[in-house]
């Protein structure tokens, strides 16, 4: 049975947003799910950013991540091998990886490049679930995760803008996005 890895990231930011090049990952949430959206297992870690280790008030308010979570976290370079090991240990046939929108893919690719990290995810296709949902629903434009869940007759479970909860909710939409 093929599985999908749905990843969501939280990153440093401030009111009005920062360019991607200035953002750094502060939380990784990933769920390994079946094509029908059921979670098999998950991975979650806080990440200590290198360039701007102090979170802005806006970032803390948006993500509900405290400075202590970040101060006690390891860097992405320290965490990434455990993510790769976790993924390998699942022994699952991975069809690909996905995220709600393209931000998460771009942020990971930037971090892999700047920190000299390698990922087995680079050998798998990435699916933009936000675009896929809009296409399947024939929407005039893509919508946010909460709106997509509402259109699908679902409610967001957990706290929004937390990596693992966002990844799990996006995975619930897989059966509505993946080809039958």
Identify the pLDDT of residue 180.
72
Q: How many CB atoms lie within 10 A of CB 138?
A: 6
What tens digit of pLDDT does each residue of 43-57 get? Answer: 999 999 999 999 999
Q: How many domains is the chain built from?
A: 1
Could you tell me the pLDDT band of residue 179, with boundaries at 50, 70 and 90? confident
Round to whole Å and give the CA distance between 83 and 76: 10
Contact 3, 40 (CB under 8 A): yes
Contact 48, 73 (CB under 8 A): yes
Q: Which two tokens stand for residue 89?
A: 């240990």
- Tell me how far CA of residue 135 lies from CA of 10, 47, 54, 127, 151, in angstroms: 26, 33, 39, 12, 13
Give the domain extent around 80: 2-177
The closest alpha carbon to 148, from 121, 124, 128, belongs to: 128
CATH at 58: 3.30.420.10
What tens digit of pLDDT does each residue of 128-156 get? Answer: 999 999 999 999 999 999 999 999 999 99
Mean pLDDT over 71-85 rounds to 97
Could you tell me the pLDDT band of residue 91, with boundaries at 50, 70 and 90? confident
Round to whole Å and give the CA distance between 50 and 45: 16
| pTM across the whole model | 0.96
Count helices and strands in the chain by DSSP H and E runs: 8, 5
């Amino acid at each position: 049975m093929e599985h999908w890895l749905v990843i969501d990231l939280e990153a440093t930011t401030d009111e009005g947003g920062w360019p991607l090049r200035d953002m750094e990952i502060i939380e990784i949430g990933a769920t390994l799910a079946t094509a029908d959206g059921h979670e098999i297992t998950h991975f979650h870690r806080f990440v200590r950013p290198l360039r701007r280790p102090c979170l802005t008030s806006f970032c803390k308010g948006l993500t509900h991540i405290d400075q202590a979570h970040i101060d006690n976290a390891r860097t992405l370079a320290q965490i990434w091998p455990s993510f790769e090991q976790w993924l390998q240990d699942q022994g699952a046939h991975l069809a690909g990886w996905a995220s709600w929108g393209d931000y998460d893919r771009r942020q990971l690719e930037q971090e892999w490049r700047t920190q000299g990290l390698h990922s087995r995810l680079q050998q798998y296709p990435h699916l933009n679930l936000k675009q896929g949902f809009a296409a399947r629903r024939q929407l005039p434009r893509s919508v946010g995760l909460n709106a997509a869940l509402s259109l699908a007759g679902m409610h967001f479970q957990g706290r929004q803008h937390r990596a693992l909860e966002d990844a799990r909710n996006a995975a619930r939409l897989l059966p509505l996005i993946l080809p039958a």
